[in-house]
Amino acid sequence: MISLQELDTIGEIPQEEYVLKCTSACAGCSDSLALRYVLKAAGPDTVLVVPACCTSVIQGIYPNTAFNIPVYNIAFAAAAACASGMSNAFRATGKKTNVIVYAGDGGTLDIGIQSMSGAFERGTDFLYICYDNEAYGNTGMQRSGATPMGARTTTTPTGKIDAKKDIDAIIAAHNPPYMATAAAAYPQDLFKKVQKALTFRGPSFIHVLAPCPPGWRFSTEKTVEIGKLAVKSGMWILYEREFGKLTINPQSKAAMKRPVPLEEYLAPQGRFKGIDAKTFETLRQHLVKNIKKLSAEEAEE
Amino acid sequence: MKKIATGNKAVAEAVKQIQPAVIAAYPITPQTEIVEQIAEFVSSGELKSRYIPVESEHSAMAACIGASITGVRTFTATSSHGLLYMHEMTNWAAGARLPVVMANVNRSIGPGWNIWAEHTDAMQERDTGWLQVYVSTVQEAYDTTLMAFRIAEHNDVLLPVMVNLDGFSLSHIMQPLDTVETGDFLPPMYLPHAIDPKNPAGYGGLTGPEQHFKFRWDIERSMRDSVKIIDETEKDFANRFGRKYGFTEDYQCDDADVVIVSMGTLGKEAEVAIDMLRREGVRAGSMRLRWLRPFPKLNLKGKEIVVIDRDYSFGFGGVLAKSIQAQQKTDVFSVIAGLGGQEVTYEDIADFIRKRRIGEEFWFGVNDHV
């Protein structure tokens, strides 16, 4: 068993900051919030590989950088492949440096899926983190494979017709030693999961829900609240899979038993404004189905 | 050590001699034998590299980039569609100033599927900031791959190098090969901007117009500086191992009235044509261009010029012919020949010279007669 540092309070998370002040992130940004805890968990012997996404923008303009850690920016489709070369080079020279891909949902579910699948299949020793704001945020909120049904984006002005792609099922099919979901609204949980992921040799994956105030159209002080509502409504389920064994977080277990109504999660978000009853019902059914599927999987074990 | 090898095998032998830390490659005809041979060397332990069997060429170059930025040697090989598929990343490797070395087995581009020799693949990469060299024999493929690492890694260059060899007509041809021990011919690699977690830095982030402009100029400055480094490296190679190449391989050019310029295996074929023409009393010479980038200053003053292009820039002309025409400020006879592996014999080449029409363009096998 992997022993984990027990973290009862957020005060026990290291004081070191790797995401410094003066990022160009929007107010209430989940990307920088999540990254702050990811890097605290990973520590200084880490290289971040970043494809085109909000993170390539918020780190600042050359010659400045707001991240106190080496960041290698790479083309959109290439993050996992680049990390795969980097990890092999570090291991070939006896270095234990963590190689972490920090990519958005576009770079993960869509344009980057091929290189990511290849890197997982080859057993690359790295951690792949997808921070998911459910659209192409960097270019101004166009739909992505991660956009939920009914959500309006600039390329789905009347709401997305197709359902969100289940990237976690795709990752699970690669049988990585460790994979998890997390949310920027639960930083302690994210911190623990990153620390744990980095103890495994081989590929690990963390899928982080990252609510986006301008993209989802809610006011900036509500980022954490919306993230918590995603979990409490059962729309986002926090869990981890260690060598295939599923463990659902207590917060999500409670939510799965008595979810807050989906309306409470959708109502504060402008992107769901005017969602029709049929789409809403389909979304709700997806949610129920997903809860059943994960509960059954956990019960089986 | 003397052996017999194909062009592909010679490249793999050179890689074995260099022992890069990381190799990432994806197989494609007619490069496949390079990948297979490398995999065999790795599994037998003769090659200590980490070999990453990536799922695409785009990932092959991305993996080389990720490895190279840590300061280690990297190698990949590709051809044709594979090269075009990695085009985004070839630009990245040059822009990131990484001394990746790649063998490209020249092959045509579809549709339709054609696996034979043509230079269009590499020509489409000529503005990416890669140094490009074209070889004509198995021995030259080996020697040039060795030299490529030293040139790429020289701190006055720090640009990737592409070694081009013609598909099948060189990649699959058996010729004698003399392998060498490189010893201190190749100094340890030092990458001044290698990633170091103790000295964190951002790489390739947002860059404004003024800074971007400077980075572009810096690539060109190094490209210009590479002329001297190529020259030094080739001379040192000749001193140590006895084989001399240069920017061009000139054959009977000094007293020639007419010179035919070409690249790759056609350049060797041209030498036979020159012997034939000389016997007929025609004072002809052959200049085989090795380095396309940096493009060397060619010594063709006072000669009539015939150029063979195994490529074409649609709506413009043969890339080599147009480049030479511009540099020499004179008209040439532009022959487009050998596309898609079309057979071009030394007799055909002799005919291009005999029946030259300076100022015109001729598509061999399409127009009826020269």
B292-350 residue pLDDT tens: 999 999 999 999 999 999 999 999 999 999 999 999 999 999 999 999 999 999 999 99
| Yes or no, beta carbons of B66 and A84 under 8 Å apart | yes
The Cα B215–Cα B219 span in angstroms is 6
The Cα A133–Cα A25 span in angstroms is 14
Per-residue pLDDT of chain B (370 residues; tens, 9 = 90+): 999 999 999 999 999 999 999 999 999 999 999 999 999 999 999 999 999 999 999 999 999 999 999 999 999 999 999 999 999 999 999 999 999 999 999 999 999 999 999 999 999 999 999 999 999 999 999 999 999 999 999 999 999 999 999 999 999 999 999 999 999 999 999 999 999 999 999 999 999 999 999 999 999 999 999 999 999 999 999 999 999 999 999 999 999 999 999 999 999 999 999 999 999 999 999 999 999 999 999 999 999 999 999 999 999 999 999 999 999 999 999 999 999 999 999 999 999 999 999 999 999 999 765 5
Mutation target vs A (from B19, B22, B102; most A CBs, 10 A cutoff):
B22
Contacts of B88 in chain A (CB under 8 A): 75, 77-78
Question: Which helix (H) or strand (E) element contains residue A248?
Answer: strand A245-248
**In the prediction, which pLDDT does B369 show?**
57
- Determine the CATH number of domain A16-300: 3.40.50.970
Q: Which CATH number fits domain B2-241: 3.40.50.970, 3.20.20.30, 3.40.309.10, 3.30.1950.10?
A: 3.40.50.970
| Yes or no, beta carbons of B202 and A67 under 8 Å apart | yes
Q: Where are the domains of chain A?
A: 16-300
Q: Which of residues 45-104 of A touch B (CB under 8 A)?
A: 45-47, 49, 56-57, 59-63, 65, 67-75, 77-78, 80-93, 95, 97
| Yes or no, beta carbons of B72 and A74 under 8 Å apart | no
Q: Which CATH number fits domain B248-363: 2.10.69.10, 3.90.550.10, 3.30.930.10, 3.40.50.920?
A: 3.40.50.920
Q: Judge if B2-241 and B248-363 fold alike in CATH terms.
A: yes
What ipTM was estimated for this complex? 0.96
Q: Chain B residue with minimal CA distance to A97? A: B197
pLDDT over threshold 80, residue A11: no
Contacts of B200 in chain A (CB under 8 A): 44, 67-71
Q: Chain A residue with minimal CA distance to B71? A: A89
**In the prediction, which pLDDT does A12 show?**
81
Identity at B121, one-letter amino acid code = D
Q: Where are the domains of chain B?
A: 2-241, 248-363
Residues A132 and A207 sit within 8 Å (Cβ to Cβ): yes
**In the prediction, which pLDDT does B212 show?**
96
Residues B21 and B149 sit within 8 Å (Cβ to Cβ): no
Do you find a cis peptide bond into A14, omega within 30 degrees of 0? no
Minimal C-alpha gap between B211 and chain A (Å): 8
Residues A197 and A206 sit within 8 Å (Cβ to Cβ): yes
The Cα B347–Cα B277 span in angstroms is 10
pLDDT over threshold 50, residue A3: no
How long is chain A?
301
Q: And the tokens for B313?
A: 């820039």
Nearest to A277 by CA among A257, A289, A262: A262
Residues B90 and B106 sit within 8 Å (Cβ to Cβ): no
The Cα A160–Cα A276 span in angstroms is 12
A231-254 confidence digits (pLDDT tens): 999 999 999 999 999 999 999 999
pLDDT over threshold 80, residue A114: yes
